[in-house]
Amino acid sequence: MKPGDLVILPAREAPRVRVVLEVGRGSYGSKVVMFDPDAKDGVRAFLASRVATLAWGAAAADALAS
């Protein structure tokens, strides 16, 4: 997982699909930081093991465009 990848959050979260801003180490493993307009500081972190990811880059964008 790397910045720019898309993550899919659990159904209780809205919006469910977000872009990873940063990947770091947490107490319980890797964590992903993403934009959250409802958070006080504008970001929110999840354990990487708790979210599904989709790699996103030029190849993925080209595949969707065709």
| 39-66 confidence digits (pLDDT tens) | 899 998 888 777 777 766 666 556 655 5
Burial of 33 (0-12, 13-18, 19+ CB in 10 A): middle
What is the pLDDT confidence band of residue 36, given thresholds at 50, 70 and 90?
A: confident
Mean pLDDT, the chain, integer: 80
Q: Report how far residue 31's alpha carbon sits from residue 23's, in angstroms, rounded to the nearest whole number.
A: 6
Task: Name the pTM for this structure.
Answer: 0.68
Q: Is the pLDDT of residue 10 over 60?
A: yes
Q: Can you give the pLDDT at residue 63? A: 61
- Provide the 8-state DSSP code for 18: E
Q: Distance between CA 34 and CA 30 in Å, rounded?
A: 13
